[in-house]
Amino acid sequence: IDDTLPTVTLPDRVVVPALGLGTWQMGEDAGKAEQEIAALREGIDRGITLIDTAEMYGEGGAERLVGEAISGRRDEVFLVSKVHPWNASRKGTIAACERSLTRMKTGRIDLYLLHWRGEHPLAETVEAFEELRRQGRIGAWGVSNFDLADMRELMEVPGGENCAANQVLYNLSRRGVEYDLLPWCQKRGIAVMAYSPIEQGSLARNDTLIHIAKAYQATPAQVALAFLLERDGVIAIPKSSHASRVAENREAAKLDLTDDDLAALDAAFPPPSRPTPLEMI
Ligand code: NDP
């Protein structure tokens, strides 16, 4: 069994694991911090070294938690954070990045994303991202919740072609991106980060997934993740505050779904047959 984590190569040739650690809803409750930090460290120990966070999560609480979790081992980790759309002006983006760096006690964010489109012109946000990149404050930049039309518009903005990733809602029950956005990104080497890859936990209770998992003595969450890990250029970022589930999710890389499994998944979760507007959580 090949249990090495698949990887994704970003446009600047940086190689990252195709499985990361989500942090939404972490860092909100001091009483849970110890458990959440343990879960993140379990992930890093097991090679899940990409961490996804945002200034929005826990109003900075998630970034502070990440800062604690990676303390003393910053170099092992590929750090992704996001600027809130209402901060995403030329100056606001740079100031928001500085605040995120301070909260995470690091000098650099490896991949910095615009969380979703807001009122600030894309050209301003991209200008700020490019400046942060020149300063070495960020390694690369990307976007989130951008549908195909948004991506096309981004490509027209000066520097827009430097976009390294688009983080979108993508899992078995949300396959719309497979119609056009995913192939469009794959063709250009723009990584697609699949958020809510277990549909916020509900795919772990799905009968089809339970059935497929049984044949492998695996779990339904692992099947949901394996489905994404099969795809080129896709990075799945499940969140768990439990070290045991982080370990379970890591083992999804061992699952090799057969053509029959994939056909059963297609029957239960039909792939899109027409353009489908991007959904958001
Ligand atoms: P996920 O699909 O990752 O599901 C998380 C939920 O599933 C949690 O309740 C978790 O519970 C549970 N879970 C995790 N692993 C297992 C398992 N093996 N078996 C059963 N249940 C499990 O949803 P998220 O919405 O959190 O998405 C993941 C990440 O994507 C976020 O944390 C965030 O970083 C990012 N994101 C980005 C968005 C954007 O707009 N860019 C929007 C939404 C998410 P528990 O923690 O208790 O183990």
CATH number, domain of 108, equals 3.20.20.100
| Range 254-266 average pLDDT | 97
Average pLDDT over the chain, rounded to an integer: 97
| pLDDT tens, residue by residue, 8-37 | 999 999 999 999 999 999 999 999 999 999
Position in ligand 1 atom list of the atom nearest CA 115: 41
ipTM of model over 0.95: yes
Q: How far is CA 57 from CA 97, 164, 192, 229, 274, in A?
A: 14, 22, 21, 25, 34
Return the active site residues: 57
Q: What is the pLDDT of residues 213-236, one digit of tens each?
A: 999 999 999 999 999 999 999 999
pLDDT at 62: 98
219 is a domain residue? no
Is 127 among the domain residues? yes
What distances in angstroms separate CA 219 from CA 158, 187, 194, 206, 263, one per listed residue? 45, 32, 19, 11, 18
Structural domains in the chain (count): 1
Given this model, what pLDDT does residue 236 score?
98
CA of 173 to the centre of ligand 1 (A): 14
How far is CA 192 from its chain centroid? Answer: 8
Axis-axis angle for helices 33-45, 243-250 (nearest 10): 20
Q: Which residue has the CA at smallest separation from atom 26 of ligand 1?
A: 239
* pLDDT category of residue 1 using cuts at 50, 70 and 90: low
> What residue owns the CA closest to ligand 1's atom 16?
245
Q: Is residue 220 part of a domain?
A: no
The residue length of the chain stands at: 281
Strand 7-9 and strand 15-17: the pairing is antiparallel
Residue 7 lies in a domain: no
Cβ(218) to ligand 1 under 6 A? no
Whose CA is closest to 235, among 20, 60, 15? 20
Tell me the pTM. Answer: 0.98
Residue 103 within any structural domain of the chain:
yes
Q: How far apart are CA 168 and CA 206, in angstroms?
A: 22
In a domain, 264, yes or no: no
Confidence of residue 2 (pLDDT cuts 50, 70, 90): low
Domain range for 21 is 14-201+233-256
In a domain, 90, yes or no: yes
Q: Whose CA is nearest to atom 7 of ligand 1?
A: 201
For the segment 131-154, the average pLDDT, to the nearest whole number, is 98
Of the candidates 232, 156, 244, which has an alpha carbon nearest to the alpha carbon of residue 189? Answer: 232
83 inside domain? yes
